[in-house]
Amino acid sequence: MKQLLNGCSVNLAEKRLAFNSLLASNRADLFRLRARRTGTLNAGTGTAGKSGHGEELHLDPSAPTLPVERDRGQSPVMRFLGSETGKGWLTISPPLLYAMLLLIGPIIVIVANSFWSQDYLTIDRTFTLDNYKAALTEPIYRDLLMRSLFVSVTVAFVTVILAYPVAWFVSFHGGRYKGLWLFVITVPFWSGYLLRILSWKVILGYKGVLNSGLLSLGIISEPLNWLIYNVNAVIITLAHSWAAFAILPLFVSLEKLDRSLLEAAADLGDGPVRRFLRITLPLTMPGIVAALMIVMIPTVGDYVTPKLVGGKDGVMIANAIQVQFGKASNWPLGAALAVSTMVIVSIVAGGIVLLLAGLKRLLK
């Protein structure tokens, strides 16, 4: 202990030195530092007002004026950037600006496009609702929209119902290997979207694996022609593709479930089924809703699956949208189709959320 005693006053000169190099090397710090100083000053001299993040400063006229030199010309922008809110926004701004520029911007452009019209290659920017009229009333688009909604809602529910027991198993019986289980289950989702669909085409095809297998086993005498190129094939393929993804939100909500609640319910006389219906299901409802949405919204716009295994009867709205942006080259109509799809799927999603909220209230 003696040794520390000898030199225990801090060497401020060393820190000053560091400060100088800081001035040169780290302007952001200096920036914050200056903003901070004015913040202190304003409040100290009784100039009350709103600081950067809208905090109400304490107004105390009796507070003595502090002997700090007043830093003039400090802009509110600088003060904002020095505050906690400012630092947060500053840090998140690169990815946020990116999302604004390349996601929100383009979506606004698409929405604008949907109110314009196109004559060969020139866009006419006078406001019109014709595209929506076509998108919502022409039988072909109406059918495609309805079919896409049907497929995505079915796929979402099938996926979630099939995935729930698996999420339950991993959460309740996964033990030390929870992480490994999750990894094993989700890997197929992360890899080879196009190839998985191709694989289903190979399995379900007229001369495919299933038919040729059944033929060679003598179970059927000629290939089944209802396996592929219909809505069922699309649903099977999509449900398989998204199965793993639905597990994650379900698993998270099951993990959050306090196990002692189930023990308390058992203690109060509920059997396994009642425990599930009265405790587990209502408390994991947020996970169920999240899983449904995370499957339903992306699948409504799936393009590859209907194209590869859907055939003529399995075409979905994304195929029609693609045609408008490709061969048919009617961007405004394609834009209107895209916007209509998003709006309608959002309404349906909202309806499902309300429905499940109602169901949750019934389970008591």
124 binds another protein (CB under 8 A): no
10 binds another protein (CB under 8 A): yes
Nearer to another protein by Cβ, of 143 and 303: the residue is 303
Residues 266-305 contacting another protein, CB under 8 A? 272, 293-294, 297-304
Q: How far is the CB of 55 from another protein (least distance, A)?
A: 5
Q: How many residues lie near another protein (CB under 8 A)?
A: 126
CA of 28: how far to CAs of 36, 269, 306, in Å? 12, 62, 52
Look at the alpha carbons of 28, 30, 34, 40 in this order and tell me if their dihedral is positive or negative. Answer: positive
Cβ contact 277:359 at 8 Å: no
104 binds another protein (CB under 8 A): yes
Q: What letter would DSSP give residue 222?
A: S
Q: For another protein, which residue of 342, 353, 356, 363 counts as binding (CB under 8 A)?
A: 342
Residues 14-73 contacting another protein, CB under 8 A? 14-16, 18-19, 21-22, 25-26, 28-29, 32-34, 36-37, 39-44, 51, 53-58, 60, 63-64, 66, 68
260 binds another protein (CB under 8 A): no
Q: Could you tell me which stretch among 190-198, 226-234, 254-262, 281-289 binds another protein (CB under 8 A)?
A: 190-198
SS3 266: helix
76 binds another protein (CB under 8 A): no
Half-sphere exposure of residue 361: CA atoms within 13 angstroms, side-chain side: 5
Task: State the Cα torsion 57-61-64-66 to the nearest 10°.
Answer: 40
For residue 83, report the phi and psi dihedrals to the nearest 5 degrees: -80, 170
Residues 128-187 contacting another protein, CB under 8 A? 162, 165-166, 168-170, 173, 179, 183-185, 187
Q: Could you tell me which stretch among 131-139, 275-283, 328-336, 355-363 binds another protein (CB under 8 A)?
A: 328-336
Q: Percent helix, strand, coil in the chain (nearest 5)? A: 75, 0, 25
End-to-end CA gap in the chain: 65
Q: Could you tell me which stretch among 125-133, 153-161, 238-246, 274-282 binds another protein (CB under 8 A)?
A: 238-246
Location of structure tokens 């909604």: 149
Q: For another protein, which residue of 115, 132, 141, 200 counts as binding (CB under 8 A)?
A: 200
